[in-house]
């Protein structure tokens, strides 16, 4: 078993980063080379702006290269809950923004000729308990009536035709959802940004920022640059150089395993529907097939902000147990990859984007960034160019988390609470 991201290991790394020290004067400096920052830099460069993209590690090092590969439409919660939380008009706009982001990904993949196995697969949100069926069925009716007429409910027999598991009792089908090879998509975005004129530096964390006459000075270990505006796209990997945002985003570790490639018979016996899947538990699992037919299975195996070799390995063992509880027929199938990463969360699990602390920002995707971050990157670029009407999150406040200074000590308590709820019938 390799302790590395499948997406990183099976894609050609970006080779276009600058080798010389960080320097220069730019219209916009984008910090963070995940999907948000990459598409912001791509859009700005296409529009004729002089843009620098600075990454602390390598392209897609963070959540963009460590996720489950789901491009799922709609919000995680019901439309009714979202409307009660933020108002019907905003909930409707935000719901549709997820669909629009997937549409945007599809257009970019075609326009930039990115070979990343993008496919409209559809998603199933699976009822893990009989007691969840009524809630999810009502949720499906609500979604179909209010925001997505293509969504529908599948009963248990219909789910069995798609999944070789007795663990589920029904599901909501979201036909608009998609999937892709996330490493190839990220590296393709980076190549496109460079092609359009962006200057990209890897392995250069921003260690300090200071106000100067014409904007900002950003300092890195190899040098510094100046820029009129900053776009911050670091999410859970935000450092103390941007402490205002660090105090407002909760980093939570998520872990994933991937099996060896399954045979055609094994695919038919497990994931014949070949969609993206997520269950209805509070500490949910998500899974899918990769382009080479590996069973990819992930979840919050532990509630902490740590992802390292020790936590990844122990979490991988727990994930394998969870996988086999749903698909016992895979008991003799080897695990080839195991990895973890950090997800940036907000208390209400809704992302935030806009301008604060004199910085343009997009973050807090709360486990749903793969599908939304491309659109937000484009919206952040628009803000830098003077437009705010393309930001579906405009006006949602980014509030500090009480007693949170950057290290979320309270996560084990939250995890224990959700495990207790999941243990109930």
The domain containing residue 151 runs over which residues? 6-414
Specify the CATH number for the domain of residue 287: 3.50.50.60
Beta carbons of 288 and 119 less than 8 angstroms apart: no
In the chain, the number of structural domains is: 1
Q: Does residue 420 form part of some domain?
A: no
Q: How many CB atoms lie within 10 A of CB 48?
A: 11
Pairing of strands 171-174, 123-126: antiparallel
Q: Does residue 85 form part of some domain?
A: yes
25-to-199, 209, 214 alpha-carbon distances in Å = 11, 14, 10
C-alpha 286/C-alpha 199 separation (Å) is 36
pLDDT score, position 305: 57
Residue 335 CA, chain-centre distance (Å), reads: 23
At residue 413's C-alpha, the angle toward residues 252 and 69, to 5°, is 25
Beta carbons of 24 and 225 less than 8 angstroms apart: yes
Mean pLDDT for each consecutive 10-residue tract of the chain (425 residues)?
Answer: 96 97 98 98 98 98 96 83 85 92 98 98 96 94 93 96 96 97 98 98 97 96 98 96 92 94 98 96 89 94 62 86 97 96 89 96 93 97 96 90 66 55 64
Closest residue by Cα to residue 323 from 366, 275, 271:
271
Closest residue by Cα to residue 252 from 365, 373, 341:
341
pLDDT score, position 79: 83
C-alpha 102/C-alpha 378 separation (Å) is 13
Element (H, E) at 188: helix 182-195
Beta carbons of 118 and 185 less than 8 angstroms apart: yes
pLDDT score, position 284: 83
C-alpha 121/C-alpha 272 separation (Å) is 12
DSSP 14: P
**DSSP per residue over 402-424, as a string?**
TT-SSS-TTHHHHHHHHHHHHH-
**Full-model pTM:** 0.94
Token pair 């996720």 is at which residue? 67
C-alpha 175/C-alpha 158 separation (Å) is 15
Q: Does residue 424 form part of some domain?
A: no
C-alpha 409/C-alpha 425 separation (Å) is 29
Longest CA–CA span in the chain (Å) reads 66
Beta carbons of 337 and 274 less than 8 angstroms apart: no
Q: Does residue 423 form part of some domain?
A: no
C-alpha 400/C-alpha 407 separation (Å) is 13
Coil, strand or helix at 377: helix
C-alpha 76/C-alpha 16 separation (Å) is 36
Q: Does residue 425 form part of some domain?
A: no
Segment 371-422, tens digit of pLDDT: 999 999 999 999 999 998 999 999 888 988 876 766 665 555 555 545 656 6
Closest residue by Cα to residue 363 from 351, 355, 375:
351
Q: Does residue 181 form part of some domain?
A: yes
Closest residue by Cα to residue 174 from 60, 315, 79, 290:
79
DSSP 205: -
Q: Does residue 402 form part of some domain?
A: yes
Element (H, E) at 79: helix 79-86
C-alpha 123/C-alpha 255 separation (Å) is 20
Q: Does residue 259 form part of some domain?
A: yes
Element (H, E) at 185: helix 182-195
């Amino acid at each position: 078993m390799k302790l590395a991201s499948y997406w990183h290991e099976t894609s050609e790394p970006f080779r276009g980063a600058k080798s010389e020290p960080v320097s220069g004067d730019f219209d916009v400096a984008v910090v963070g080379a995940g999907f948000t920052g990459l598409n912001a830099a791509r859009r700005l460069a296409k529009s004729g702006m002089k843009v620098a993209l600075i990454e602390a590690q390598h392209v897609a090092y963070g959540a963009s290269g460590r996720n489950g590969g789901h491009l799922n439409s709609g919000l995680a919660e019901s439309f009714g809950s979202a409307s009660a939380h933020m108002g019907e008009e905003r909930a409707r706009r935000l719901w549709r923004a997820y669909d629009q982001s997937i549409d945007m990904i599809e257009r970019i993949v075609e326009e930039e000729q990115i070979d990343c196995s993008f496919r409209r697969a559809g998603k199933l949100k699976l009822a893990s308990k009989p007691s969840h069926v009524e809630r999810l069925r009502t949720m499906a009716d609500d979604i179909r009536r209010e925001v997505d007429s293509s969504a529908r409910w599948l009963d248990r027999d219909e789910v069995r035709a798609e999944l070789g598991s007795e663990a589920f009792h029904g599901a909501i089908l979201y036909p608009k959802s998609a999937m892709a090879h996330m490493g190839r998509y990220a590296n393709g975005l980076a190549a496109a940004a460079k092609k359009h004129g962006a200057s990209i530096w890897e392995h250069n964390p921003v260690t300090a920022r200071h106000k100067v006459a014409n904007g900002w000075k950003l300092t890195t270990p190899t040098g510094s640059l100046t820029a009129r505006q900053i776009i911050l796209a670091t999410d859970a990997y935000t450092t103390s150089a941007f402490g205002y945002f660090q105090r407002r985003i909760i980093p939570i570790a998520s872990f994933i395993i991937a099996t060896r490639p399954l045979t055609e018979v094994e695919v038919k016996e497990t994931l014949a529907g070949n969609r993206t899947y997520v269950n209805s538990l509070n500490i949910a699992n998500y899974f899918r097939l990769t382009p080479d037919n590996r069973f990819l299975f992930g979840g919050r195996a532990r509630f902490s902000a740590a992802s390292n070799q020790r936590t990844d390995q122990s979490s991988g063992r727990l994930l394998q147990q969870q996988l086999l509880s749903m698909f016992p027929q895979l008991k003799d199938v080897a695990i080839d990859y195991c990895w973890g990463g950090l997800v940036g969360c907000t208390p209400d699990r809704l992302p935030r984007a806009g301008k604060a602390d004199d910085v343009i920002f997009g973050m807090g995707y709360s486990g749903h960034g793969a599908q939304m971050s491309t659109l937000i990157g484009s919206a952040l670029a628009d803000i830098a160019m003077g437009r705010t009407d393309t930001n579906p999150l405009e006006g949602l406040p980014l509030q500090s988390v009480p007693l949170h200074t950057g290290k979320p000590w309270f996560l084990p308590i939250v995890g224990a609470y959700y495990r207790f709820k999941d243990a109930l019938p």
